Each structure stands twice: as C-alpha cells, then as structure tokens.
C-alpha cells in the first residue's frame, strides 16, 4: 500500500531537475545566464543544502561552515597539482578531508548546544582562516592563494609539457568550455562546468531528500524539537548530531572542491566568518528545514551579489531617462543607493522583511500564496456551482499522508 517514494516528492524531484538543467534558458532573460554565475548558483546551492541538513533538521546553528568550504578547496587544488588535472580525484579527496575535519570540529563543538555551539564553530573557522594565512603558508600559500602551476608534478597525467597551465577537466572536457546557442535573440551559454555542478547539485538534492524522509531525518528533527526527551527515549543524540554535522561538512567540502574546479585558485578568504554567515543567510532566507529553500536562498543571494552590484548610477539613470529631467534626477537619487555598491542595503532589507513576515523563509511565502490561490479558486467554484460536488480525482491523495508530511514548512 505504502509507496516507497511519495508522489509529491517525485514531482518535486522532477521539477527541480528540469529547472536546474534548463537554467541557462531561464537565467538568460534575467541577465544571469553566463557560466561563471550559474556555476556559483549550483555550487552555493550544494553548500546551502548541506548546511540545511545540520541547521534545518537539528537546529544546531554552525557559524563556521566556511572552514569546510576552504578545506575542500585547498584539498582539491592539491589533488589537481599532485595527482591529476581530472576533477574526480580532487572532488573525492576534498570530500574525505573535509569530512574528517568536520568529524574533529563536530566532536568538540557538539559538546555544547545553542549559542555556545555557534561560538565554538565560529572560533574554529576563524582559527582555520588565520592559520591558513600564517602558520600553514607552506600548504595554503598564504595571501597569494594556492593555484595551479607549470611545475606541478601531476603524476597520473602523462602529457605534461605544454607551456600553458592546464585547466581542470573531466573526460577531456574543460570546465570553461561553453557552447553558445542563439535563441530568441539571446545568447544561451551551455557550459561544461555548470552542467557538472548541476548534475552534482541534483544528486545532492536527492540525497538530502532521502535524509529528510528517513528515520534518521526524523530523529534529527526530534533533536531540534526536544533533545532532553529524545535522550530519555533511549536515543544517544550526540552521534546523530555528529553524523549530521559531518554530512553537512562533506557537502561544504564538495562545494569548495567544485569552486576550485571551476576556477583553480584557493584563498583563505573563503574561510572567513562572512562566508560562514552567508550560508546562514541563504538557508534562513530560503527557508530552514525545507528541502528547496536553501537552493532558492543561495540563488537569490548570489544573484544580488553579482547582478544588483553591477547596476550603477548611469544604468539607473537610463531607466528613468524618458521622464522629465528633475524627476529623473530625483528617482535616480532615491533608487541608486540601493543598487550598485549599495546592493547590501537591498539584500539586508529583503532579509529583514523575510525574517519578520515569513519566518519560514521564501518557501513559506510561496506556500502561503499557493494556499490563498487554492482557497480563492475553491470559493469561486463553490459559489458558481454550489450543487456540484468536487470531482473525486481532484484531490490526488485520498490515502493518508505518511509521517513527515505534517510539517507544513516542508515542501
């Protein structure tokens, strides 16, 4: 009777896959259809999905996840330098190393909860950041950042005599390779690096869906809800939270590895606390504890960072140029502080609005709108033809929803 995979989950998975794979088409009209930015959407989406497994499910707010991003980046560059320019060993190595690193930090930090846990993770991340700049310079190459070199040994790659620094590749396809297709007057850019990140993003999304729908995920939600009760229920909660921490650390390491596969330069900046804060913003903005929210949040924040920041005063003036001079000047003066270098102001305002009015993030907003539309269409249906009963097939699940579906914020 019970389906192993719920219909709604399958729909979600299919829609997500289509949306991600069609991103070059969807993003082009928004001015975001270029490879560099789309790669970042996918990679930070992975980062946020992983963060959400820890924060969204267990409620443990880590303020140091950028450390794993950085560790993943450094490990991946080292693999690209020492072993092969192929991205696969680099990614695997980065995930393993960041997982071990997360095991260590999680083991210590998870002895505390709440604000103390957050501070511990923050301290570890800042420590990693400063170590990368100072003591660990032989490994991290300090301020210059770690990058590929002509003298890299790359023991698995036989041909190595070119005068150009190789760029990371997969099965002979370089990450920077892009096919440009003309479509309705737009240049659609289909980029190898983006599609590799996108496929990994889809896989990681599926993995997170499976975790959300597993007994393990349910126990993690119980940690968030009432950890004391969970301990008196016979569960040792520490290994569960530690597992969630390590999984999310590995997601971050994967994201870090992908970042350097697209652009083989690892710098310590990636580990700074602002980067840790960014993933928190992404998750909360999209909707912590929801499946799709973190990806949404990551997309929006990266969009702001890259698109809004480019709209300078002259562009704004162009928008209002049809209006009388005085009005143009006035509107430009009002609008431009929120764009260009002031994009943080608009992002901050949106974040405030989301947190105040939609504590469940943008996903909550979307589900509220859906409910409203459904209610409106239902009332119209009943007022126009009150005698006609609703067709039975309309509601697709006459069978009872399985556990995990009650949480309205999960969608």
Partner 1 sequence: MGILEVKGVNKRFGGLLALDDVNLSIQQNTVHAIIGPNGAGKSTLLNCFIGKLLPDSGTVKFDNSSLIGLKPFQINQAGISRVFQTPEVFADLSILENVMIPAFAHRDGAFHLAPFRSLAKETAIREQAEKILQDVGLVDERHQLASAMSRGNKRRLEMAMCLVQQPKLLLLDEPTAGMARADTNNTIDLLKSINEAHNITFVVIEHDMHVVFSLADRISVLSQGHVIVEDHPSNIKGHPKVQEAYLGTAETQ
Site of interaction with partner 1 (CB under 8 A) = 2-6, 207, 210-211, 213-219, 221-222, 224-226, 228-237, 239-240, 243, 247, 400-407
CB of 17 to partner 1, least distance (A): 19
Instruction: Round to whole Å and give the CA distance between 235 and 228.
Output: 10
H/E element, 179: strand 178-183
For partner 1, give the closer residue by CB, 34 or 216: 216
CB of 180 to partner 1, least distance (A): 39
**What residues have CB less than 8 Å from 217, skipping those under 6 apart?**
57, 211, 404
Instruction: Round to whole Å and give the CA distance between 245 and 252.
Output: 11
CB of 111 to partner 1, least distance (A): 14
For partner 1, give the closer residue by CB, 191 or 367: 367
CB of 7 to partner 1, least distance (A): 11
Query: Residue 239 CB: number of other CB atoms within 10 A?
Result: 10
Please give the C-alpha separations between residue 224 and each of 220, 228, 340, in angstroms, as whole numbers: 7, 10, 39
Query: Are the CB atoms for 66 and 251 separated by under 8 Å?
Result: no
CB of 203 to partner 1, least distance (A): 13
CA 272-360-205 angle, 5° bins: 65
For partner 1, give the closer residue by CB, 3 or 380: 3
CB of 316 to partner 1, least distance (A): 45
C-alpha dihedral (138, 67, 78, 266), degrees to nearest 10: -80
Total number of residues shown for the chain? 411
CB of 311 to partner 1, least distance (A): 41
Instruction: Round to whole Å and give the CA distance between 160 and 148.
Output: 13
Query: Are the CB atoms for 378 and 389 separated by under 8 Å?
Result: no
For partner 1, give the closer residue by CB, 101 or 212: 212
For partner 1, give the closer residue by CB, 6 or 344: 6
For partner 1, give the closer residue by CB, 4 or 182: 4
For partner 1, give the closer residue by CB, 221 or 302: 221
């Amino acid at each position: 009777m019970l389906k192993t995979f719920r219909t709604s989950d399958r729909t979600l998975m299919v829609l997500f896959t289509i949306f991600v794979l069609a991103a070059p088409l969807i993003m082009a009209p928004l001015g975001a259809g270029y490879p560099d930015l789309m790669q970042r959407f996918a990679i930070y989406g992975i980062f946020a999905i992983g963060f959400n497994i820890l924060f969204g499910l267990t409620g443990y707010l880590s303020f140091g996840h950028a450390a794993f991003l950085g560790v993943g980046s450094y490990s991946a560059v080292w693999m690209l330098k020492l072993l092969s320019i192929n991205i696969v060993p680099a990614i695997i190595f980065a995930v393993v190393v960041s997982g071990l690193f997360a095991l260590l930090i999680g083991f210590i930090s998870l002895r505390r909860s709440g604000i103390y846990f957050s501070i511990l993770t923050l301290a570890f991340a800042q420590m990693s950041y400063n170590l990368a700049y100072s003591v660990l310079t032989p490994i991290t190459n300090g301020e210059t950042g770690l990058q590929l070199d002509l003298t890299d040994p790359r023991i698995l790659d036989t041909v190595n005599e070119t005068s150009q620094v190789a760029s990371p590749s997969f099965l002979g396809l370089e990450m920077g390779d892009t096919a440009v297709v003309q479509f309705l007057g737009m240049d659609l850019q289909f980029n190898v690096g983006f599609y590799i990140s996108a496929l990994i993003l889809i896989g990681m999304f599926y993995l997170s869906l499976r975790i959300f729908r597993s007994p393990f995920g349910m126990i993690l939600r119980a940690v968030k809800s009432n950890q004391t009760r969970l301990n008196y229920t016979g569960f040792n909660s520490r290994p569960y939270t530690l597992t969630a921490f390590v999984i999310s650390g590995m997601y971050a390491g994967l994201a870090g590895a992908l970042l350097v596969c697209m652009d083989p330069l690892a710098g310590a900046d990636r580990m700074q606390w602002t980067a840790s804060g960014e993933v928190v913003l992404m998750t909360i903005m999209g909707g912590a504890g929801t499946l799709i929210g973190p990806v949404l949040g990551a997309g929006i924040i990266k969009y702001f960072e890259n698109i809004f920041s480019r709209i300078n005063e002259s562009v704004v003036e162009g928008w209002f140029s049809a209006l009388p001079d005085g009005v143009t000047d006035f509107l430009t003066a009002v609008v431009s502080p929120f764009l260009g270098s002031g994009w943080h102001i608009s992002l901050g305002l949106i974040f405030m609005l989301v947190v105040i009015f939609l504590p469940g993030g943008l996903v909550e907003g979307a589900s509220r709108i859906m409910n409203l539309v459904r209610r409106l269409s239902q009332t119209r249906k009943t007022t126009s033809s009150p005698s006609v009963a609703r067709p039975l097939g309309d509601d697709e699940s006459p069978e009872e929803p399985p556990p995990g579906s009650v949480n309205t914020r999960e969608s």
